Structure 1
Amino acid sequence: METPYLTHITSEDFKYVYEPAEDSFLLLDALEADLSKLQSQQPAICTEIGSGSGVIITAVAKALPQTACFAIDINPRACDVTTRTAAKNGANLNVINMNLLNGFRSNVVDVLIFNPPYVVTPDEEIDSYDSTSDNPFNDNIIKSWAGGTDGRLIMDRVFDAMDTILTANGTAYILVIEENKPKEIIANMKTKGFCGSIVTERRIRGEHLFVIRFERVSHAQICKSAIK
């Protein structure tokens, strides 16, 4: 899986849009490790929530050219940058300015990708966006990392909706950190009918990152936590 060119994105853009970092590239590594699995599934629709710069969904769109790929972001500036990233790399993307997957029909997503706002913060930081401010785009950058209690306020909304988001054979790739309590997440999702397994993990300065792959229990070959 090729890492997209990002030379078109300026330092000014990154004042308002999340800049790809270790978490972004770990998620890319996880998807690359599962690429043959994804290709064999021949997904019709792949969707990334919170596309930011577009680096991840653009790489996926290039690797799965027969799949309809959607990039979702609540930040209109991120939608613009994602569109430019796709164009720079010759990827066919559908970019939508939307909150999570509120505008999607039920059970249409075959592959879901989400690098959520996972940093543990006071819940009020998530609600700090002020659309009447002189520069609302600056407020939107907070939404790319502020995760609220246990860093899970936003990701838990997606977990709760997973059953209605994914198709019967659907797969989700979610990036989390140790502070998000990944073992608890996997246990909770099993009660909702999903098997969670660690695709890859990495320790970096100040963070322990995990990428969890979720599949419906009925379609998972092995359903056990890879976290010791």
Structure 2
Amino acid sequence: LSNSLRLQGHNSLAGGLLRQSENMKWSEQPSEKLRKTIVWYNKNGNLKKPIDYEAVAEQLGRLPEGQALGILSNLEEKGSTLENPTAWVLGAMKKCGVADEIDPEAKHMIVKTVNWYNKFGGLPMQISTLEVCGPLSKISLKRAMRIMKELDDKKGEIKDPGRWIVGYARKAAKEYKIKKTAWWYNKNGKLKEQINVDEIMESMMRLEEWQAMACLKNCGDKAGEINNPTAYLLVAATKWNKIDREKRASWPAKQA
């Protein structure tokens, strides 16, 4: 069946999925006040580079709000002097005892490789190990090294290597997590029909990771009701994308 035909008949289920998972996004995020503070500094803080919210959000959320705001308040004085505000925030949180847990051997190899590229790679900008270690550690070391090799091949095209690495590593980690979760449901989820993982990936990758996980979880929760999990997931992804587009379209009107 074509995708358009397969998508039909699941709207009510997908609508329920969207309603049930609406609140999941914020469970692992810092407060709205912290988010707005970062947005403010990115816009008004005279920073040389914007703070990468995704890179700092989870760790900021582990701190008491007052302590996290205290870290960010230092940007008022130091912000304009920092070459990499994201790395500075991560470093400040590390001093507070909040940092991603990274396998020591993997960290050693990543740091060693990054330092080599900083010294001999002919990069247009230095890579911050603090900024890239976390994202690279969330994928296999083999995949991380392939990313570094690709950086070497494309260094003439990449203006900000650290940002490029972080984006690439996040995408790779997200892809693996979605596939691994779908494979798990195929094996253990008692689905009426196997999820066609290859078919759903393009749509799932357009979503935020939390949205994709919500789709898969709800698909698993409703396994006994869903005859075609692949079509169900495609419908859910389409609805999320529509909601996100509508939200983005409304932003200028709200700001005005």
Shared fold, TM over 0.5: no
TM-score (norm 1): 0.29
More helix by share: 2
More strand by share: 1
TM-score (norm 2): 0.27
Q: Which of these two proteins has the greater Rg computed from alpha carbons? A: 2
